[in-house]
């Protein structure tokens, strides 16, 4: 995020009143069903699909540095995979060149580590991981004057027990492509989304508003943070495709076009490359990060290469 957006954020963050909120989205009704599977059923559901994932990040066409970060974690230990599943994270740092890179890196590393170490249900583990990442970024900023005021967005998807768990702070997004339709699963913590909620502007007007990238919640800017959680978690199906992305993508590529690209791509990696190339062709004024996770039938399982895109733990 550029410095003007960050200064606006710093002014707005002090005005933000604390409130409890969950994601507001418009997916199909059945996507909101609660999942009451037994542990044996959950393990069977975990084995019913194979996870294919790709996380790619690009500095864009304007900036030399990349303040975004992203990672996919997929445990090699079968017991850990059954207990915690796979985790995908995208973060968009802010606060200046070096500080933004540090904030997003801390977020990805800390959320990934704490999620797999924490006890309790996956949703609570995600919340704890975000809170720990927030505190670590905040304390790092206080210890180093050059990092003062840094922060980051963070959106994480955990696939566990046949369900999707999502935690979210800021304006990076999570989408679900199901039955040919792209659904937004998160709601931006931004100034313009506040105006949309209050009925001041429409969603279409928000897309082109001058303050569309001014966020009012981030990891690391205060000692405590309110984490939005997808509640209840989403029951997943074979064929589901999840997209996590920073605003460098959706600012330049409309959702209808994102949907078409995802539907046409042969695999997650090709889809990510095409999305990034499209954003770059539109100017690429910001860093662009795309994480794509696809669930396929178990018989389609192929060895997942351990590259910079997938981290084995």
22-61 pLDDT tens trace: 333 334 444 433 333 444 444 445 567 899 999 999 999 9
Which range of residues forms the domain containing residue 224? 3-15+49-311
* Pairwise pLDDT comparison (202 vs 135), residue with the higher score: 135
Q: For the segment 139-170, what is each residue's pLDDT rounded down to a tens digit?
A: 999 999 889 989 999 999 999 999 999 999 99
Q: Do the domain assignments include residue 34?
A: no
Instruction: Report how far Cα 71 is from the mean position of its chain's Cα atoms.
Output: 10
**Spatial distance between the Cα atoms of 96 and 104, rounded to a whole number of angstroms:** 12
| Statement: the pTM of the whole predicted model exceeds 0.85 | no
Give 190's contacts (C-beta < 8 A, 6+ positions apart).
171, 211, 212, 213, 214, 215, 216
* Pairwise pLDDT comparison (301 vs 251), residue with the higher score: 251
* Pairwise pLDDT comparison (224 vs 312), residue with the higher score: 224
Q: Do the domain assignments include residue 37?
A: no
Q: Do the domain assignments include residue 239?
A: yes
Q: Do the domain assignments include residue 181?
A: yes
CATH code for the domain in which residue 190 is found: 3.60.40.10
* Pairwise pLDDT comparison (133 vs 214), residue with the higher score: 133
Q: Name the strand (E) or helix (H) holding 270.
A: helix 268-281
Orientation of helix 97-117 relative to helix 122-143, angle to 10° = 150
Structural domain total, the chain: 1
Tell me the three state secondary structure of residue 175: strand
Phi-psi map region of 85: left, alpha, beta (phi>0 left; psi -120 to 50 alpha): left
Give 203's contacts (C-beta < 8 A, 6+ positions apart).
196
Q: Which of 100, 189, 225 is nearest to 151 (CA)?
A: 100
Tell me: cis bond preceding 232? Omega within 30 of 0 counts: yes
pLDDT tier at 111 (50, 70, 90 boundaries)? very high
Q: Do the domain assignments include residue 21?
A: no
Q: Do the domain assignments include residue 24?
A: no
Residue 214 has what pLDDT? 78
Q: Do the domain assignments include residue 305?
A: yes
């Amino acid at each position: 995020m550029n410095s003007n957006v960050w200064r606006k954020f710093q002014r707005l963050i002090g005005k933000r009143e604390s409130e409890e909120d969950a994601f507001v989205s418009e997916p199909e009704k059945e996507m909101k069903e609660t999942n009451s599977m037994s542990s044996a059923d959950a393990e069977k559901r975990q084995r019913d699909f194979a996870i294919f994932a790709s996380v790619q990040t690009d500095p864009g066409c304007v900036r030399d540095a990349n303040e975004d970060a992203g990672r996919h974690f997929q445990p090699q230990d079968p017991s850990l995979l059954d207990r915690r599943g796979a985790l995908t994270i995208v973060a968009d740092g802010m606060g200046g060149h070096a500080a933004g890179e540090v904030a997003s890196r801390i977020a990805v590393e800390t959320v990934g580590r704490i999620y797999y170490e924490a006890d309790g249900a996956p949703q609570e583990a995600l919340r704890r991981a975000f809170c720990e990442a927030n505190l670590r970024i905040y304390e790092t900023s206080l210890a180093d004057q050059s990092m003062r005021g840094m922060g980051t967005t963070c959106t994480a998807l955990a696939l566990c027990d046949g369900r999707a768990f999502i935690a979210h702070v800021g304006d990076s997004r999570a989408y679900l492509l199901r039955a040919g339709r792209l659904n937004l699963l998160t709601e931006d913590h931004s100034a313009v989304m506040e105006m949309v909620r209050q009925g001041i502007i429409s969603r279409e007007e928000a897309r082109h508003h001058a303050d569309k990238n001014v966020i009012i919640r981030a990891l690391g800017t205060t000692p405590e943070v309110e984490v939005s959680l997808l509640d209840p978690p989403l029951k997943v199906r074979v064929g589901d495709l999840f997209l996590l992305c920073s605003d460098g993508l959706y600012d330049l590529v409309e959702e209808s076009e994102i949907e078409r690209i995802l539907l046409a791509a042969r695999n997650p990696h090709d889809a990510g490359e095409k999305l990034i190339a499209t954003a770059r062709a539109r100017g690429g004024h910001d860093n662009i990060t795309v994480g794509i996770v696809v669930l396929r039938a178990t018989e389609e399982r192929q060895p997942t290469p351990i590259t910079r895109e997938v981290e084995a733990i």
